[in-house]
Structure 1
Amino acid sequence: MAEKTDFDVVLVGAGISGINFAYRLQERCPDLSYTILDGRHEIGGTWSLFKYPGIRSDSDLYTFGFPWRPWSEQTSIAEGPLILSYMKESAAQEGIDKHIQLHHHIDKANFSSDSKTWTLEVTANGSEKKIVRSKFFLLCSGYYDYDNPLKAMIPGIEDFKGTVAHPQFWPEDMDYTDKNVVIIGSGATSITLMPNLAKKAANVTILQRSPSYVMSQAAEDGLERLIRKLTWWSKPVEHTLIRWKWLVVPFLLTRFAYNFPNAARNMFQKAIQSQLPPTLPRDPHFNPSYNPFEQRVCFCPDGDFYAALRSGKGSIETGVVETITANSIKLVSGKELHPDIIVTATGLTLQVGGGIAISVDNKPYSVGDHFIWKGVMLEDLPNTAVVIGYVDASWTLGADATAQMVCRILNRMKKEGVVEVVPRMSASEKAGMREEPVLKLTSTYVKKAVNVLPKAGATGQWRARSYYFKDMLMAWFGDIKTGMEWIREV
């Protein structure tokens, strides 16, 4: 018999996934009560946490923004403060902000098979202890650890006498004017930081062990300008067409890259070569060992990264650190760099569920030991969904596919008198299941998290999600019974 609960649904995290999920609950399941618990002082997730210069989206805002509140700025890539304002305005517009409890960190979460409820142990406002009970539990807390960045092994970094900063905890008072800055790392954060720091710094050097694909993206391209011109009579039509442009064109690009990797590689390399200064060779600095989208492709608005290289304020070095001394970085090649500031843009520590200690009937549950069902629910974890977005498209697209599927499941549960749904894999099925990565990236930070992330399977309902159009059809019409136990109230 299910016991009385405080809420039908508890969502963890008031970032892009949590706000979107709340909207879908209000839209599709209006009779369900819900709350969003977030440990931080404000909503926004990533866009509240990161404060480094130039922090911006690494995908277009027309699809990264909410489908129910179109992005109206005339730029496809936006900086963090603008995104944060958009999220706050969106939550307020729909009354979602009234359901958010900030400074509420969930320490433990236990599901009781007897009562069919989740019991959450919460620390509120730093010290107050609370118990919150719910029927359903939604993990919308993103995919990385907010408190602990990835600790890369950089020999001698502790001996450096200058300033060392990590983008995840950027010092608000850092003055880099006329300083020599070295950024260790080659991902999207480095590509964002370099042109922004170069506006004031004497020189900014990206030091990378291996190169990445860095592609320019127009803040507003010709097709978007044409759409705006032709749809002057209707903003909704304009927003719809531009959003569809950003759904279709990147989709075609990624499919092309997956199916014709050599042709895609050549296309990307020609685009990169055309923007490099004549004195900077493409090989080795811009000749990745992998094909496009095997790791995340970095995008820079209006080519600001390449503009910084051409100006001479930005530079790039490819090599391995031998050691760092009090005032230098020595490379294995014998070359030395002499920075005033070192920025360790070495990646994120991946984490599912915000570090909550999860258990079922007081038995600890390890996410990394289990498979994920349809990219949405975790094997043997009742009444729980987890939001994991795409790595080759906007995160929000995957988050919305998850939200719509879960709302469909919740409505079916109500219709059929079901109080518990839990993905199950038979022993024989599990023994024969080939494991696949849930995030299909070869990046170092993803490889290091292989025991943290759930596993995808190679067949059936356990395959990793694929792409937005297919996943939306699965959310609306797909099989939600196979591989799942539906338990009715006794």
Structure 2
Amino acid sequence: MTEHVDVLIVGAGLSGIGAAHHIQSAFPRRTYTILEARDALGGTWDLFRYPGVRSDSDMHTLGYRFRPWTQAKAIADGPSILRYVKDTAEEAGIDRHIRFGHKVIRAEWSTVDSLWTVEAVHHGETVRFTANFLYSCSGYYHYDTGYLPEFPGIERFGGTVIHPQQWPEDLDYTGKKVVVIGSGATAVTLVPAMTDKAAHVTMLQRSPTYILSIPAEDAIANALRRLLGPRFAYPIARWKNVALGTLIYQLSRRRPDLVQSLIRKTVIKQLPPGYDVDTHFKPRYNPWDQRLCLVPDGDLFKAIRHGKASVVTDHVTGFTKTGLQLESGAELEADIVVTATGLRLRALGGVELVIDGRVLKLPETMAYKGMMLSGVPNFAFTIGYTNASWTLKADLVAEYVVRVLRHLDAHGYDVCVPTNDDPTVTEQPLLNFQAGYVLRSIHEFPKAGSRFPWQLGMSYAHDVVKLRFGRVDDGAMRFSRQAVGALQ
């Protein structure tokens, strides 16, 4: 049997639960289902279980626009974020619409029927759903495995090798020498978190990253909440943090030397006197060429100051029986090696899209407003900002999908499809970001265009104006009525 819904959402993580909330609030009588490949909701915040897992954005912007974050800590731990997502789903009854263990593998659009037919694997069997609108909220990375470079001799190592994406629940690192390979958000989170039990933790990096210390608690947001209550304080704190983040980003792009100098000064203040800052904390690129790493209350620098953690900047040439051989000739002893070497990107969760029998090649499509695809009807996806909180964009995408569906209803249409027929629009990478995990896989993603509406915007303020208040019928989005029954 094939089950039919008006809107089919793929993924029950932060984006999927938010999307469902927007759809349900705007259209109480419209049917929707969420298909989730895993057996739990929460996405990233249920998957990652490594010590100290936390947000790398403040929760006043990573939280939903419609649900205030009320805890004191703005840089929240993973379990608190997961509880927030679960509470959002349970309070709105969204959890009753989730089908767990349903891995979507294929979705085919029929122009004749104006309908998506979606295939998912559940307990080894293929099940099918039909939907008028397909909404992908599956994130942009492989949930199964992270990225692991080839390390010669890894099989010789007598200790334990772990990737943070597959953290074992029973790992005991008490009194162990731990080496964390990497210098991104995961590494700078793990290193101070593991010093509570480990004999010593070393962050081994090929090159430095910009690391900025911020307060774990947002004093202004907490004071506003006490004074005004959560409902009124939350949007003020949200926009305050959006403005601050935008200022830092714009300064980084326009005055990189100034931002470099400011970050360097704050780092020097938090490290021991005479520390070799140039070797370990002076990146070779400009701020925001890659994402800034945030450390709450300077916990990484405290761990270094107290001698519980150290940083080694070198290249790994291979594993030995007792540790890691480095390019400099040194050997770094370890009982446990954590490969915080990044994500593997995966467009649309690996789902194969088919349009009237033709398999769609994503790199041949162009992203419309960073959320829909040229030539693909009744379809939307969520990709967040690289320079700000993911949920800021996820909320806007959901709001825009609601606007599109309302436009369909108001004019009696049942099909919307972005169409790029302007030969002067040139192709560009979807993400103009120099992080390794992006560069390795961006060729598998849709393209962006040289101008709006074919660009993936990186300014929340601009996107608010364009997506919340801009025209839906903008000339690039084409509407039609083809099937007998329109969306109800």
Scaled by the length of structure 2, the TM-score of the pair is 0.95
Equivalent residue number for residue 13 of structure 1 = 11
Per-residue deviation, 1:483? 2.0
Q: 1:245 to 1:46 in 2, by over 3 A?
A: same
Asked if the contact 1:374/1:462 (under 8 Å) is kept, the reply is yes
Per-residue deviation, 1:293? 1.2
Q: In structure 1, which of residues 107, 110, 123 is the aligned counterpart of residue 108 of structure 2?
A: 110
Q: In structure 2, which of residues 74, 95, 98 is the aligned counterpart of residue 97 of structure 1?
A: 95
Equivalent residue number for residue 137 of structure 1 = 134
Asked if the contact 2:145/2:166 (under 8 Å) is kept, the reply is no
Equivalent residue number for residue 267 of structure 1 = 262
Q: 1:308 to 1:267 in 2, by over 3 A?
A: same
Q: 1:152 to 1:358 in 2, by over 3 A?
A: same
Q: In structure 2, which of residues 351, 363, 385 is the aligned counterpart of residue 368 of structure 1?
A: 363
Per-residue deviation, 1:354? 1.3
Q: Partners in 1 of 2:392 and 2:333 — Cα distance?
A: 43
Asked if the contact 2:73/2:218 (under 8 Å) is kept, the reply is no
Asked if the contact 1:110/1:361 (under 8 Å) is kept, the reply is yes
Equivalent residue number for residue 381 of structure 2 = 386
Q: In structure 1, which of residues 465, 471, 477 is the aligned counterpart of residue 463 of structure 2?
A: 471
Percent of aligned pairs sharing the same letter: 42
Equivalent residue number for residue 35 of structure 1 = 33
Equivalent residue number for residue 310 of structure 1 = 305
Per-residue deviation, 1:222? 4.1
> What are the superposed Cα offsets for residues 287-329 of structure 1, whole Å, 9 maximum, x if unpaired?
0111111101011111111111111110111111122122221
Matches within 5 A, 1:412-427: 412-426=407-421
Q: Tell me, what secondary structure is at the counterpart of 1:138?
A: strand
Q: Partners in 2 of 1:413 and 1:5 — Cα distance?
A: 23
Give the number of aligned pairs.
Answer: 481
Q: Does 1:174 align with 2:167?
A: no
Per-residue deviation, 1:249? 1.5
Matches within 5 A, 1:265-414: 265-414=260-409
Q: Tell me, what secondary structure is at the counterpart of 1:398?
A: helix
Q: Tell me, what secondary structure is at the counterpart of 2:96?
A: helix
Q: Tell me, what secondary structure is at the counterpart of 1:460?
A: coil
Matches within 5 A, 1:184-223: 184-223=181-220
> What are the superposed Cα offsets for residues 35-84 of structure 1, whole Å, 9 maximum, x if unpaired?
11101111100011011111100100111111111000001111111111
Amino acid at match of 1:41: D
Per-residue deviation, 1:433? 3.6
Q: Does 1:489 align with 2:482?
A: yes
Per-residue deviation, 1:30? 2.9
Alpha-carbon RMSD across the aligned residues, in angstroms, is 1.6
> What are the superposed Cα offsets for residues 395-453 of structure 1, whole Å, 9 maximum, x if unpaired?
00000111111110111011122222122222x62xx5433332232011100012222
Q: Partners in 1 of 2:443 and 2:354 — Cα distance?
A: 17
Q: Tell me, what secondary structure is at the counterpart of 1:6?
A: strand
Amino acid at match of 1:448: R
Asked if the contact 2:204/2:311 (under 8 Å) is kept, the reply is yes
Q: In structure 2, which of residues 429, 443, 446 is the aligned counterpart of residue 437 of structure 1?
A: 429
Query: Structure 2: where are the runs of 5+ without partners?
Result: 484-488
Query: Structure 1: where are the runs of 5+ without partners?
Result: none
Q: Which runs of 4+ in 1 moved over 4 A?
A: none
Q: Partners in 2 of 1:221 and 1:284 — Cα distance?
A: 32
Q: Partners in 1 of 2:426 and 2:148 — Cα distance?
A: 30
> What are the superposed Cα offsets for residues 149-200 of structure 1, whole Å, 9 maximum, x if unpaired?
1131223223222100000000111111111111111100000000011111
Amino acid at match of 1:86: Y
Q: 1:222 to 1:19 in 2, by over 3 A?
A: closer
Q: 1:226 to 1:132 in 2, by over 3 A?
A: closer
